[in-house]
Amino acid sequence: NRLDTHDPSADTLYGIDLFVHPDYRGLRLGRRLYDARKLLCEEKNLRRIITGGRIPGFSKHPELSVQQYINKVRNGEIYDPVLSFQLANDFHVRKVLRSYIPEDEDSRSYATLLEWINIYYEDSEGRRDSYLSSRKSVVRVGAVQWQMRRFHSMEDVAEQMEYFVDAIAGYNADFVLFPEFFNGPLMVNSTDNHPSQAIRHLATYTEDMITAVCGLAVAYNINIIAGSMPWMEEDGTIKNISYICRRDGTWASQEKIHITPDEKAYWGLKGGDRLSVFETDIGKVGVLICYDVEFPELSRVLAEQGMKILFVPFWTDTRNAYLRVRRCAQARAIENECYVVITGSVGNLPRVENMDIQYSQAAMFSPSDFSFPHDAVIAEATPNTEMTLVSDLDMDLLKELRYQGSVQNFRDRRLDLYRIDWLKRT
């Protein structure tokens, strides 16, 4: 009942049996446990993980040799509940084990010896370089360029969201960003078509949508920036709020602070007074909703608190409105030496006043220096087409830029001459 071969000076982690209770399957707990083991290897500077794995689907294919069976599983022609999972987690078959568990008829007594290699392992006496922290150095981010369409119910919206969350989580992304007012089509269900009443009707869905999105974040093991949704305060005022649903089941929110003239005139929205940096499993992120990114003071306040990725869900109706958001987002990336991810909605939305047309081109921006793309654009979507955008953001490059960049905007601020103070105290 214990492992008696432990050697504190050894370089290999042995993966003991891993089981997930049937009631909790489908939440990607197995992958999360393996991610934790991999992180342990990196922190302890271990060379590899090895594990023995049954092949319980082998008995269903008596016509195949064990070599043929493994090759077909590797090529995706056959699904094996154990081996397929191991291969999906970057393990490789190193050896076939015969008579591993003689009574295991499902595996015909065979098993595989699997290995995962820690690419950061150093064979010298020293530890890993200090820049390889316990958090991921490369963060994979997805953005959904959302097609506005008729939704008859909140469940329809959640189903469409799940489609995109599933697709982007399939690439092992850490974040997915949705647009501002992505659930706006539900306003068509309001019995009063006046915009000020339609937005209040939309707010009645928000609490249930938060619950649904948090469930998706846990189920698909991905942090979801749920664009924005209206929230009605007890005094009847309406705010535009973005929700950050973490994959550990917790959530936080960011109010839109600056309200456009149209949002005031049509919907009667009121600006918020809270600005926060959010801790996540990959580091600190911030959210500025649409118009807010056009005010450089906000992103500077966030950057001073350690923000490394700024998410900007937006809704714009025309190209010139979109370009205001885009140009300002690019400036924020340069000023604050951070990554900025933007996305909006596309298409037409009849019978919803003030949201009848949309324009968007999702994009991811970097600072502008030699380590980044020559145009400081990491990735961008096709304009005005429903699609997803997925790309990797290298956090180590931001650290190098801060101290070794051609220019060092953040360090070279003249704090003896000016500063930004947040005046609102909670």
Domain with 320, as residue range(s), is 138-404
The pLDDT confidence band at residue 171, using thresholds 50, 70 and 90, is very high
Task: Give yes or no: residues 386 and 302 share one domain.
Answer: yes
Task: Give yes or no: residues 108 and 182 share one domain.
Answer: no
Task: Give yes or no: residues 259 and 374 share one domain.
Answer: yes
Task: Give yes or no: residues 106 and 187 share one domain.
Answer: no
- d(CA 19, CA 303) in angstroms, rounded, equals 42
CB 316 within 8 A of CB 357: no
How far, CA to CA in Å, does 54 sit from each of 24, 64, 67, 71, 97? 21, 16, 14, 15, 9
- d(CA 285, CA 308) in angstroms, rounded, equals 6
pLDDT in tens, 330-380: 999 999 999 999 999 999 888 888 888 999 999 999 999 999 999 999 999
User: Which position among 214, 245, 290, 338 bears the catalytic label?
Assistant: 290
Task: Give yes or no: residues 101 and 142 share one domain.
Answer: no
Task: Give yes or no: residues 143 and 98 share one domain.
Answer: no
For residue 129, being part of any structural domain is answered with: no
For residue 233, being part of any structural domain is answered with: yes
For residue 89, being part of any structural domain is answered with: yes
Based on the structure, what is the number of domains in the chain? 2
Please provide the average confidence, as pLDDT, over all residues in the chain.
Answer: 92
CB 71 within 8 A of CB 148: no
| Structural element, H or E, at residue 370 | none
pLDDT of residue 128: 43
3-state secondary structure of 280: strand
Q: Beta-carbon neighbour count of residue 426 at 10 Å?
A: 4
- d(CA 41, CA 29) in angstroms, rounded, equals 19
Task: Please determine, for residue 179, whether its predicted confidence score (pLDDT) is greater than 70.
Answer: yes
For residue 166, being part of any structural domain is answered with: yes
- d(CA 37, CA 114) in angstroms, rounded, equals 14
pLDDT in tens, 201-231: 999 999 999 999 999 999 999 999 999 999 9
- Rounded to two decimals, the pTM is 0.76
For residue 122, being part of any structural domain is answered with: no
Looking at residue 148, the DSSP 8-state letter turns out to be P
Looking at per-residue confidence, does 122 or 247 come out higher? 247
pLDDT of residue 1: 54
Helices (H), 220-379: 261-262, 296-304, 319-336
Task: Give yes or no: residues 198 and 309 share one domain.
Answer: yes
Task: Give yes or no: residues 100 and 144 share one domain.
Answer: no
For residue 416, being part of any structural domain is answered with: no
Quickly count helices (H) and strands (E) in the chain. 10, 18
- Tokens matching residue 315: 């809704």
- Whichever domain contains 94, its CATH number is 3.40.630.30
3-state secondary structure of 422: coil
- Active-site residue flag, 180: yes
Task: Give yes or no: residues 92 and 169 share one domain.
Answer: no
For residue 152, being part of any structural domain is answered with: yes
Q: Mean per-residue pLDDT for 398-424?
A: 89
For residue 418, being part of any structural domain is answered with: no
- d(CA 94, CA 388) in angstroms, rounded, equals 36
Task: Give yes or no: residues 21 and 159 share one domain.
Answer: no
User: Which position among 41, 42, 115, 180 bears the catalytic label?
Assistant: 180
- Sheet containing strand 92-97, edge to edge, reads 12-14, 48-54, 111-117, 92-97
